[in-house]
Amino acid sequence: MSPRLEYHIVDVFTDVPFAGNPLAVVLGAEALSTVQLQTLARQFQLSETAFPLVATPEEIARGVDYRLRIFTTTAELPFAGHPSVGSAWVMAQLGRVQPGPIVQLCLEGELPLTVEPGGGPVQLTGGRPFVSAPIDPAPLLAAIGLVDADQPAGSPPPRLAGMGLDFAYLPVQPEALDRARPDLAALGRLDSGASAGPIGVYALAWDPATRTARARMFSDDVAGGEDPATGSAALGLGVWLVESGLLPADGPSAYTVRQGVEMGRASTLSCTAEAVGGAVAIARVSGDVAAVAQGWIEIPAP
């Protein structure tokens, strides 16, 4: 029998199976090439597949617990939220890291996480904050089948924002979220002028009373054009909210994201943004993880 790799399927940002955002976590892939890792991600056909790898002695000396490579079905990502949260949870469940603070090294850099004991939530701290000047809402609306009237009167302008991976934040009416439909070709034509890679359109309806965003994230690089729970976008949302004056300009603020409802994969992302002088310095996102399946997969040919 040819060599095989252990894998785990988990649902992230939910405490029950078959909700949240599914993730494949493949172990023991240190010797595989980038082409082989991409082949495995294509086989799983999930929005992302994550590969936790043993850190080098030099990385361990810096405090790194493990390296993480993240792939969509078509490309490697510098960082992503639900693969980071889900991988940390799996590693803790298997005893490969201890509950508490850990450090993950991905292409974006060293990112801290905190794993609660007993299979509890995992908290991820985002990378470098970024926010752009206002951008034109018209192509964003068109790419998800909406029009100008679907924006709330007096709402803040859309902007690109992120903390490791950038998204276009587009405020819309709550009822418009139900009608949004991704146009994959139009999404593929979006050009940020500032952010490398595909641009995700993060449509959101903000409730200031509860500090809750009901959200949908559309991109041409995820299956069906929509992602059920986007941790990296939830981090960037804090940057956009502070820049837009919807969260305080100084101090910590908690906010919640509800996503995936329209897909039948309800997700809850609990977030905190810490602002200084009107700009986010640190943002964190946390959520539960539910185990779904595990098994073995063949190693692709080099």
Please identify which of the residues 48, 108, 226, 243 carries the catalytic annotation.
48
Which residue is listed with tokens 């809850």?
A: 268
Query: Under a CB-based contact definition with an 8 Å cutoff, are residues 130 and 239 in contact?
Result: yes
Active site residue 6: no
> Whole-angstrom Cα distance, residue 19 to residue 261?
9
What contacts 24+ positions apart, CB below 8 Å, involve 135-143? 135/159, 135/160, 135/168, 135/192, 137/170, 139/186, 139/189, 139/190, 140/168, 140/170, 140/190, 140/201, 141/170, 142/183, 142/186, 143/182, 143/183, 143/186, 143/187, 143/189, 143/190, 143/201, 143/218
> Whole-angstrom Cα distance, residue 206 to residue 127?
24
Could you list the active site residues? 48
